[in-house]
Structure 1
C-alpha cells in the first residue's frame, strides 16, 4: 500500500493535540488524526459522466474537564491552530453539563497491539489509475446493457479509497492503522415512463482481488431489474414475510440498536429488561468478531484504545449482554465491550463491527415453498420503528408468493409488526454472503401485516 500520509505525521499531530489540551487546562484528552484519499468514476451511456478525487487530512480533539466534555475538529494543522483549537475545546467543555461517568480508560485496560498487524485491512498495492477504474465501470455497464430488456444504465460506478488514522490519549495510548476499499456498482433500468423499474447490484471489498468481476455485477443488476418489471400491489392481510439476504441485515440491525448501551442507559430500548432472556429462537446465535481479516469493519482496538475481541451478543437465542463503551458501561455498572466508535468532532458511543447470525440448514427456495402465500422483501424504503416499544412499520417491494412459488413482482406496500414477536419467529436460510459488516442470511418471519391493494 502506498501511504495516504506518513503515519509518523499523524502520530505527531494527535500527540500535539493532547499536549495542547493539557496546557489549556484539560484533565484528560484524546485526539484523532485522519488522512485519506478517494477516487470515484461514474459511467453513463457508455461514456464518462463524472470523475471525482478527494483527499485531505483532518484532526479531532475531545477534552474532559471536571466531568464535562467537548469535542472539536479542524482541517488546519498549523501549530498555532492546534493551540487555538485546544483552548476552544476546553472553554466549550467548561460550559457543558457534568457527567461523572465520563473518562478515559485506565492504562491497564488499553490494547497492547496498537496497529492492525495480521488483520489485512490495507492492500499493499499502488492506488489504481483512474483509467483502470473507468474500465471497470465501463465493463459493468456494458454487461448490464447487453442483457435484453435493459433500456439504460442509470449509473455504473467504480471507486477506491485509502484512509489512515491515529488515536492518541492522555492515558498513554497511541496507535493507528490504515484501510483501503474498492467498490463497484451498477443501477439498471427497464421500461419507460410509468412502467419504468430499476434495481442495482454492488459490492465493496478491502482488497480488489476479492471483488466479483464487473461482468458479474452488471449481469446481476440487469437480472434484478428485469425481475421487477410489471410490479403491482399485494393483497392486504396477515402473511409470512421472507426478508431476502439483501435486506435481512436491517432486521437484525433493529436488534443491535436495542442492545446498544446508549439506548439501554436512557431506558429507551424495547429490550431493556430482557438481559438473560430469549430474544431469538432457540439454537440461533448472534456473534460479533471485530478481528476478521480483510473485513471492512474490522478493528484491532476501539475508539477508546481498548482491545477488541470476539463475543456473543445472543447465544442459543438468549441475550448475553449489551454493547458498551466506557461511559455507558459505567452508567450500568458493567465493563466496556470495547465497542466505542467516534467521529472527529464527536464523543465515543457504542457500535458493532462484523456481526454474524447463525445460518440455517435450508435454502431460500425451501423457505419460499414453506411460506405457501406471502411476501418476499428485496428492498425497503422509509421507516417507522419505535425503539422503546419495538413497533415496526416499513415500506417494501419484492415478490408475491402463491402456493410456494413466486407469482409476481410487488412494487409498493407496507409491512408492519412488533420486533419482539417478529424476531422470535425467525427461520434462517443458508445463503448469507461474506464480506458484510452484518452477515445475515434470508430470514422468514411469520404473521406480519401487509398493507397493499
Structure 2
C-alpha cells in the first residue's frame, strides 16, 4: 500500500494547537481493503477501497473537543481544528483527561503482523468461487448465500503535544462461507470464517467441511425439556457472550459509576479456577500492537487471578481518576473518544482434563442468537436463543434447536464446574480459553 508520510502534517497541526494555547493528540489512519464475494458461480462483488482519516482530541482549559477529517488538504484540517476548538468551548471541564504520554517513540516490532501479500488476484477469485461450489456440491445443500475472501492493510500514526510519535502497520486476510441444508422439510444454516496473516495460512477445505458438518448435524434438532443444565460454549460463542459483558473490566465504566465491578478490586468475582489476562502477544494472534490509543506501551495485564479481581483496564483518564497508573489499555480511533480495550483475552488453564470437563451430561452450545438485545451489561442478566447438542461423556447424543438460554453472567462466572487444561482460540484469534463447563444455566425448551 502506498502511504503518505503523515509526520510533517501531524507536526504542523500540533504547532497550530500550541498557538491556540491548547494540547492535543492526533491519530492518522490509512487503510486499504480488498474483498470478493461469490454468488451463483460468479463474482457478485469485486471491491477495492482505500481511506484515510485523521482525528484530533484537543484539550484546552480542561475541556475536551473531538473532530476528524477524511481530507488532508490544509483547509479541511484547519476546519477540523476549529471544530475541535468549538467543541471544547461547549464541553464540561474534565479534570481527568490530559495529554500525559511524553516522548513515546514506539512502533509495533512484530514482523508477523505485516507480511505483504503477493498472491495473484486470480487465486483469490478462484478461492471465492471454490468456497461456494464446494459447499453446493455437498449432500442436501440447497444454498450457500454468503461466500467471501477479503484482506485488509492498515497503517496508523499517533502524535501528541508532548513529543510522542508512534507507528503501527498490519495486514490480514480472511474468508468465510455458509451452508443452507434442506432435508425432509427441515432447514438449517451455518456460517463460519477464518482469519490469518497470509493467504497460504487459510484452510478452505477444513472450513467447508466444518460448515457443512455443523449445519447437517443441527438439522434434526429439537428443543430439550425446560430446566437447569450444565453447559459448555464453543470458543466463538463464549467470546461473543463475554463481549456482551466485557465492560465489567473497564476502568472507564468504573469512572462513570456504571461498572458492576467498580468496588470489587481485591474481591472474588469468579470461581477460583478462573484466571484472565490481557496479553500483548499470542502466536498467530490478531490483536498484537506495541502501544495503546495514547502511545503508552501495551503490557500483559492480569485482570482476574484465581477468581479475584486484580485490576481494571485503564487509560490515562481513568487511571488519574482512581489514582493508579495506566496499564496500556487506552483505545481511541480517529473518530472516537478515549476508551479502553484489551489486547488478546486469555483465560488460564484449569486442573481438569478435557475428558473430565466433558464427563456426564451437558449442553454444548454452538450458536447464540440476539446477544446484544438480550444482555444487560450492568445487571449481568441475559436471555438468548440458542442451538447446540445434548452431550454425554463427550459424545453428542441429540441436536438441540429452539431453546432459550438465560442466566446472570456474573453469577455464571462463580458456577464453574470444570476448567480444562488445553488452550483453544476463537475464529478471530483474539480470545483464548480452555474448555469451561458452567453450571446452573436455565433452559426454556419444551
Q: TM-score range by the shorter chain?
A: over 0.9
Structure 1 equivalent of residue 419 of structure 2: 428
Conserved? CA contact 1:314–1:320, under 8 Å: yes
* Residue 198 of structure 2 corresponds to residue 207 of structure 1: yes
More off after superposition, 197-206 vs 425-434: 425-434
More off after superposition, 180-189 vs 25-34: 25-34
The one of 383, 386, 390 equivalent to 1:396 is 386
The one of 363, 367, 373 equivalent to 1:379 is 367
Structure 2 equivalent of residue 232 of structure 1: 222
* Residue 262 of structure 2 corresponds to residue 267 of structure 1: no
Q: CA RMSD in A?
A: 2.2
Structure 1 equivalent of residue 235 of structure 2: 245
Conserved? CA contact 2:358–2:392, under 8 Å: no
How many pairs are equivalent?
441
More off after superposition, 141-150 vs 153-162: 141-150
Deviation at 1:280, TM superposition (A): 2.7
TM-score by length of 2: 0.92
More off after superposition, 56-65 vs 288-297: 288-297
SS in 1 for 2:157: strand
Structure 2 equivalent of residue 187 of structure 1: 178
CA distance in 2, matches of 1:261, 1:95: 25
CA distance in 1, matches of 2:296, 2:389: 45
CA distance in 2, matches of 1:193, 1:29: 64
- From the superposition, tell whether residues 205 and 350 of structure 1 become closer, same or farther in structure 2 (CA, over 3 Å): same
Conserved? CA contact 1:143–1:219, under 8 Å: no
TM-score by length of 1: 0.91
* Residue 357 of structure 2 corresponds to residue 359 of structure 1: no
CA-to-partner distance for each residue in 1:163-217, whole Å, 9 max, x for gaps?
1111111111012121101001111110079622100221111233433x21111
Conserved? CA contact 2:235–2:424, under 8 Å: yes
Structure 1 equivalent of residue 13 of structure 2: 17
Conserved? CA contact 1:258–1:270, under 8 Å: yes
Deviation at 1:80, TM superposition (A): 1.8
Deviation at 1:18, TM superposition (A): 2.0
Structure 2 equivalent of residue 308 of structure 1: 298
Structure 1: segments with no counterpart, 5+ residues: none
CA distance in 1, matches of 2:375, 2:42: 42
Conserved? CA contact 2:245–2:380, under 8 Å: no
* Residue 406 of structure 2 corresponds to residue 437 of structure 1: no
- From the superposition, tell whether residues 255 and 80 of structure 1 become closer, same or farther in structure 2 (CA, over 3 Å): closer
Structure 2 equivalent of residue 97 of structure 1: 92
CA distance in 2, matches of 1:402, 1:356: 27
* Residue 113 of structure 2 corresponds to residue 121 of structure 1: yes
Note the 1:314-329 alignment, pairs <5 A: 314-329=304-319
Structure 2: segments with no counterpart, 5+ residues: none
CA distance in 1, matches of 2:210, 2:393: 26
- From the superposition, tell whether residues 26 and 143 of structure 1 become closer, same or farther in structure 2 (CA, over 3 Å): farther
* Residue 35 of structure 2 corresponds to residue 40 of structure 1: yes
